[in-house]
């Protein structure tokens, strides 16, 4: 019997391994962030009402992404740990069960999209135009979300085996298709009807399904994960292991839905321009945060594999490389938001009122970027080692304990300009909590580890 060949995640020098694993993901996420910005730019040029409607709809879309990303992170962590322990059968079971869970999740969101889209949008406003546009956008994104679920799971399966090139191709292809379709369907070019936000939603789900076709093709070609019919049959222990990391990640992401919903509710009390500015900021900050999340994604399988293989020095080396990269990216992002907010806002056809609100908002929010970058890197350690609940505690604290109360109190008693300081306050507090968890994990699980 031939010995199992060592995966590159267990032997390749850490700096080049982390960068080679992360860079393709970071690049594809940059393309995705660029799509988010371009998409919002097209929508904003259609009308400010359209941009506001999409911003109000975003929390529900974020919940959809939360479940898909959370499940896929659980699959990625479990699969890489099993590969590190040379348990190939269990690794393949993790991949197959993840795909089955993604189909079940899609069915749930399709039901929500069919029957509750209008109810959700009506929570924020009684403006008929906003309700109509928001409902159209949400319902299409939810009902036709199967492509998103399958795509994200397949990408994480590939990443869990150390393949980050094909996920980059998959995600970049979808984003490029989306960018090309947006102006055609939103503004009605080349003989197509002018569909506004409905066109933006159609472009999104169509591109997701293009990505899915590519994703399935590459998974079928992967030599380490050969899926059989038995792999798709749900197994209690496998599902439990997936969601041990997946559920905390879902909660972390889903809390973002609660946060954005609540902030939109607070901001709309000041003006629709404040809501639109928040929507613009959210798209722009993704261009800074997405590469760091890509770094996080690239680090998780490296950490998981070496945790399974009992190689503590490679785990700590991975964290050090991640910190250097994340702090550099976030430092650049802070400088851009501090020095050029008016230029960034002008891309979205911002009104003078939006520029006045947005300049203050972007400068004050960006004060916490570097702290956020460090936290994201350390969270990769928790997720890669299977301690997803620590990430969940951190996320709940950051958004619901620190950010939301601070935003409410500052907005109510000081004013809109002061409200934006709540983001810096929450990032600093979250950073402190993350360091505490890291020291605890390092002392009890990494420092005492023997190969």
Let me know: does 302 contact 386? Beta carbons within 8 Å.
no
- Integer Cα distance of 184 and 148 in angstroms: 22
Three-state DSSP string of the chain:
CCCCCCCHHHCCCHHHHHHHHHHHHHHHHHHHHHHHHHHHHHHHHHCHHHHHHHHHHHHHHHHHHHHHHHHHHHHHHHHHHHHHCCCHHHHHHHHHHHHHHHHHHHHHHHHHHHHHHHHHHHCCCCCHHHHHHHHHHHHHHHHCCHHHHHHHHHHHHHHHCCCCHHHHHHHHHHHHHHHHHHHHHHHCCCCCCCCCHHHHHHHHHHHHHHHHHHHHHHHHHCCCCCCCHHHHCCCHHHHHHHHHHHHHHHHHHHHHHHHHHHHHHHHHCCCHHHHHHHHHHHHHHHHHHHHHHHHHHHHHHHHHHHHHCCCHHHHHHHHHHHHHHHHHHHHHHHHHHHHCHHHHHHCCCCCHHHHHHHHHHHHHHHHHHHHHHHHHHHHHHHHHCCCHHHHHHHHHHHHHHHHHHHHHHHHHHCCHHHHCHHHHHHHHHHHHHHHHHHHHHHHHHHCCCCC
Q: For residue 263, what are its two tokens?
A: 């902030």
pLDDT score recorded for residue 3 = 45
Backbone angles phi, psi at 11, to 5 degrees: -130, -30
Let me know: does 384 contact 307? Beta carbons within 8 Å.
yes
CA angle 77/90/146 to nearest 5° reads 60
CA angle 435/402/371 to nearest 5° reads 40
Residue recorded with tokens 């055609």: 184
- Integer Cα distance of 45 and 173 in angstroms: 25
pLDDT score recorded for residue 183 = 92
Q: How far are the Cα atoms of 60, 131, 262, 381, 422 from residue 428, in angstroms, in the given order?
A: 27, 36, 21, 19, 10
Answering whether pTM is above 0.85, one says: no
Selection from 51, 50, 13, 65 nearest residue 250 by Cα: 65
Q: Is the dihedral of CA 292, 294, 297, 302 positive or negative?
A: negative
pLDDT tens-digit profile, the chain (451 residues): 344 455 676 668 788 888 887 887 787 777 777 777 777 788 888 887 888 888 788 778 878 888 888 888 888 888 888 877 787 888 888 888 989 999 999 999 999 999 988 898 888 878 888 889 989 999 999 999 999 999 999 998 888 787 878 888 898 898 889 889 999 999 988 888 888 889 999 999 999 999 999 999 998 887 777 778 887 888 888 898 888 888 877 877 777 778 888 888 899 889 888 888 888 888 888 888 888 988 888 888 888 888 777 787 888 888 999 999 999 999 999 999 999 999 999 888 888 899 999 999 999 999 999 999 999 999 888 888 877 788 878 888 988 899 999 999 999 999 999 999 999 999 999 999 999 999 988 888 887 776 5
pLDDT score recorded for residue 100 = 93
The residue extents of the domains of the chain are: 11-446
Write the pLDDT tens digit of every residue in 364-400.
999 999 999 999 999 888 888 877 788 878 888 988 8
Q: How far are the Cα atoms of 90, 146, 338, 420 from residue 103, in angstroms, in the given order?
A: 20, 7, 43, 39
């Amino acid at each position: 019997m031939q010995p199992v060949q060592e995966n590159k995640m267990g032997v390749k020098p850490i700096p080049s391994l982390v960068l080679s694993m992360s860079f393709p993901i970071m690049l594809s996420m940059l393309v995705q962030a660029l799509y988010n910005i371009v998409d919002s730019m097209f929508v904003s040029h259609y009308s400010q009402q359209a941009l506001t409607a999409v911003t109000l709809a975003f929390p529900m879309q974020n919940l959809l992404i939360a479940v898909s990303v959370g499940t896929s992170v659980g699959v990625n962590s479990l699969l890489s740990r099993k590969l590190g322990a040379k348990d190939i059968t269990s690794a393949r079971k993790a991949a197959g069960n993840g795909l089955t869970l993604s189909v079940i999740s899609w069915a749930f969101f399709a039901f929500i999209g069919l029957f509750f889209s209008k109810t959700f949008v009506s929570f924020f406003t009684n403006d008929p135009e906003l309700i109509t546009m928001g409902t159209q956008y949400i319902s299409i994104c939810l009902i036709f979300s199967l492509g998103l679920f399958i795509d994200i799971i397949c990408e994480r399966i590939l990443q869990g085996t150390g393949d980050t090139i094909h996920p980059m191709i998959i995600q970049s292809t979808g984003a490029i298709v989306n960018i090309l379709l947006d102006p055609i369907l939103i503004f009605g070019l080349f003989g197509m009807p002018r569909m506004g936000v409905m066109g933006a939603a159609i472009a999104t789900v169509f591109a997701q399904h293009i990505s899915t076709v590519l994703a399935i093709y590459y998974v079928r070609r992967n030599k380490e994960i050969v899926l059989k019919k038995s792999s798709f049959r749900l197994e209690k222990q496998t599902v439990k292991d997936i969601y041990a990391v997946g559920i905390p990640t879902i909660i972390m992401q889903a809390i973002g839905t609660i946060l954005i919903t609540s902030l939109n509710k607070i901001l709309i009390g000041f003006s629709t321009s404040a809501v639109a500015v928040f929507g613009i900021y959210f798209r722009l900050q993704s261009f800074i945060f997405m590469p760091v999340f890509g770094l996080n994604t690239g680090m998780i399988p490296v950490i998981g594999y070496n945790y399974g293989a009992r190689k503590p020095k490679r785990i700590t080396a991975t964290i050090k490389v991640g910190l250097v990269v994340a702090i550099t990216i976030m430092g650049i992002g802070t400088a851009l938001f501090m020095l050029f907010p008016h230029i960034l806002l002008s891309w979205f056809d911002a009104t003078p009122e939006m520029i006045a609100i947005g300049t203050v908002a972007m400068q004050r929010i960006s004060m916490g970027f570097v702290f956020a970058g460090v936290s994201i890197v350390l969270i990769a350690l928790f997720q890669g080692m299977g301690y997803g609940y620590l990430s969940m505690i951190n996320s709940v604290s950051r958004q619901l304990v620190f950010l939301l109360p601070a935003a409410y109190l500052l907005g109510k008693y000081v004013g809109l300009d002061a409200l934006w300081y709540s983001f810096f306050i929450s990032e600093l507090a979250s950073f402190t909590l993350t360091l505490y968890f890291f020291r605890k994990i390092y002392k009890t699980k990494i420092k005492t580890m023997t190969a």
